[in-house]
């Protein structure tokens, strides 16, 4: 017993929080990367997460393609679709007020979610975890379902990989330079429009990856991303959009806080992240890791 709460329940909710946090981290990472370079708040991020989950489900049902392959293919599919959208439509809006990008991607999200609802219905569809990851292990103080442990590890690994890609590679250096001054980078002979397309595809691909990871945990449904995206917006505001690492850390942190709230004060668990956002805005408007005021 800790604070009158059974250890089992506490650990259970902590794990749920860590899993939610994994998705918050993956999604806010993608949002932060896209915003950093494109200055677009990608409202379609939740829809792209849903597309990833649906891609995995449809690959399985129509093509018999298993989870592991879907984990690679689905993000590629989502990324490719995003690249087409960026090239044909989104790229026309960069010169305008940034709010138009938000409004455009909002419309895109509505259209995608509406279409999937029309063809697949609003109800959730189950997606079985792969055989290698079923079952649970006894950790002594609790039973850990293996798939849930995998979600945390996989998302952490991908977050670190993306962080390394941006901080330590040449491509990442171009990306960071273009974030600072796109005109100058273009003058040095770097193909900035291509970089923008790749960045949007990368961010959307990350959302798609999160969707595949989420498919066995939550059910696959057309609206699975629409409420999540608003929480992720709050996470991004709390973290401050300037820092990639900040987005990741804040994602996990707020997931865990939400999980703990479920144990100690369940009524507030839906709103705790928004309350934290309001407090952070009052005390530190730039966000926990933000530089721009």
- Tell me which residues touch other proteins (CB under 8 A): 39, 41, 89, 92-93, 95-100, 102-104, 106-115, 117-118, 227, 230-231, 233-234, 236-237, 241, 267, 270-271, 274-275, 277-278, 281-282, 285
Alpha helices by DSSP H, the chain: 7-38, 45-63, 67-88, 98-120, 146-168, 170-180, 182-187, 192-214, 228-239, 244-264, 272-283
Closer by beta carbon to other proteins, 139 or else 278:
278
Comparing CB distances to other proteins, the nearer of 49 and 233 is 233
Beta carbon of residue 121, minimum distance to other proteins (angstroms, whole number): 11
Q: Which residues of 101-123 are buried (b: 16+ CB within 10 A; e: fewer)?
A: beebbbebbeebbeebeeeeeee
Closest CA to 105 of 214, 195, 211, 233: 233
Give the C-alpha separation, 198 to 83, whole Å: 7
- 247 to each of 22, 30, 192, 279, how far by Cα in Å? 11, 9, 24, 18
Query: Given the complex with other proteins, which of 34 and 220 has the nearer CB atom?
Result: 34
Report the residue number, 111 or 160, with the smaller CB distance to other proteins. 111
Find the shortest distance in angstroms from Cβ 91 to other proteins. 11
C-alpha to C-alpha distance for 165 and 198, rounded to whole angstroms? 13
We find the least distance from the C-beta atom of residue 110 to other proteins, in angstroms, to be: 3
Strand, helix or coil for residue 121: coil
Query: Least separation, in Å, of the C-beta of 190 and other proteins?
Result: 26
**Least distance (Å) between residue 114 CB and other proteins:** 3
Q: Which is nearer to other proteins, 212 or 237 (CB)?
A: 237
In the complex, minimum distance from the CB of residue 97 to other proteins, in angstroms, rounded to a whole number:
5
Nearer Cβ to other proteins (40/212): 40
């Amino acid at each position: 017993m800790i604070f009158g709460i059974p250890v089992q329940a506490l650990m259970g909710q902590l794990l749920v929080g860590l899993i939610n946090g994994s998705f918050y981290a993956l999604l806010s990472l993608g949002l932060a990367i896209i915003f950093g370079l494109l200055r677009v708040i990608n409202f379609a991020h939740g829809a792209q997460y849903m597309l990833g989950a649906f891609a995995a489900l449809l690959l399985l049902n129509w093509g018999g393609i298993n989870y592991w392959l879907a984990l690679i293919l689905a993000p590629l599919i989502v990324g490719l679709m995003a690249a087409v959208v960026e090239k044909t439509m989104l790229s026309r809006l960069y010169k305008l007020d940034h709010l138009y990008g938000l409004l455009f991607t909002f419309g895109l999200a509505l259209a995608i979610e509406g279409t999937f609802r029309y063809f697949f219905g609003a109800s959730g569809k189950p997606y079985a975890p792969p055989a290698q990851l079923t079952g649970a292990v006894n950790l002594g103080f609790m039973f850990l379902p293996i798939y849930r442990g995998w979600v945390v590890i996989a998302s952490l690994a991908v977050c670190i990989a993306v962080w390394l890609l941006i901080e330590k590679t040449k491509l990442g250096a171009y990306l960071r330079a273009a974030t600072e001054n796109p005109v100058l980078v273009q003058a040095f002979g770097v193909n900035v429009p291509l970089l923008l397309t790749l960045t949007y595809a990368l961010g959307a691909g990350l959302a798609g990856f999160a969707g595949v990871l989420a498919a066995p945990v939550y059910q696959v449904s057309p609206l699975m991303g629409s409420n999540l995206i608003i929480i992720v917006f709050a996470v991004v505001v709390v973290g401050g959009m300037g820092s990639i690492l900040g987005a990741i850390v804040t994602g996990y942190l707020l997931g865990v806080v939400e999980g703990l709230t479920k144990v100690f004060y369940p009524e507030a668990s839906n709103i705790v992240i928004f309350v934290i956002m309001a407090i952070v805005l009052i005390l530190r408007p730039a966000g926990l890791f933000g530089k721009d005021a």
